[in-house]
Amino acid sequence: MPVLLYPRTQLDATAMMPAPGEPRLRPASNRDREAVTDLVFSVLREFELKPDPEDTDADLNDIEKSYFETGGRFDVLEDSGGKIVGSVGLAGIGAGICVLRKMYLLPEYRGHGLGERLLFHAIEQARALGFGRINLETASVLEKANALYIRHGFQPFHDPDLPARCDQAYYLDLGRNE
């Protein structure tokens, strides 16, 4: 498989800054657990995917341990009123690899470039945290998200340990652009 380098110029952080009144990213904490769980589970149900709080979604029970303590991070997208409208997490799994998890947006916030903003943020954060590769697991019914991943260089790969609700896996080699 070819090594894909994701050019830094495509991820210019200043281009990703929110305009006044637009949702803004901030690090999540365990205080956000209920709101993040509500967001994730509502999007899953929208696409007829089953929430799994005992297994696949158990990471939401302790965001700080599941993400920050693995060398990753978890961020939320918050509207001007403080409502969590999106999320994205990176969990370290060893060997310089992280898993992109829980990238979701409420329906009314889709179609405005916010999904791309979350993805760019995750890629930049993965690089800043020292990861060389991002893996992700997804479901084919999440067509627009999967198209976004492919459009930004993610490649399919066979993952024998996919959770029950997932039927696809992708990776992005970040390479070194020093």
Residue type at 118 in one-letter notation: L
Q: Could you state, in order of their start, the residue ranges of all structural domains in the chain?
A: 8-173
Whether the CB-CB separation of 36 and 63 falls below 8 Å is answered with: yes
What's the pLDDT tens digit per position in 33-90?
A: 999 999 999 999 999 999 999 999 999 999 999 999 999 999 999 999 999 999 999 9
The C-alpha atoms of residue 61 and residue 66 are separated, in whole angstroms, by 9
User: In whole angstroms, what separates CA 109 from the centre of its chain?
Assistant: 16
What pLDDT is recorded for position 4? 38
Q: Which of 14-18, 22-26, 109-113, 142-146 has the lowest mean pLDDT?
A: 14-18
What's the pLDDT tens digit per position in 109-134?
A: 999 999 999 999 999 999 999 999 99
The CATH homologous superfamily for domain 8-173 is: Gcn5-related N-acetyltransferase (GNAT) (3.40.630.30)
What pLDDT is recorded for position 32? 98
Whether the CB-CB separation of 98 and 92 falls below 8 Å is answered with: yes
Higher pLDDT, 1 or 160: 160
DSSP at 8: G
What pLDDT is recorded for position 90? 98
| Residue that is written with structure tokens 């992280």 in the block | 98
DSSP at 113: S
What is the percentage of the chain residues whose pLDDT exceeds 90? 84
The C-alpha atoms of residue 98 and residue 110 are separated, in whole angstroms, by 25
Q: 76 φ, ψ to 5°?
A: -120, 150
Termini Cα distance of the chain: 22
**Mean pLDDT of all residues belonging to the chain:** 89
The C-alpha atoms of residue 122 and residue 6 are separated, in whole angstroms, by 13
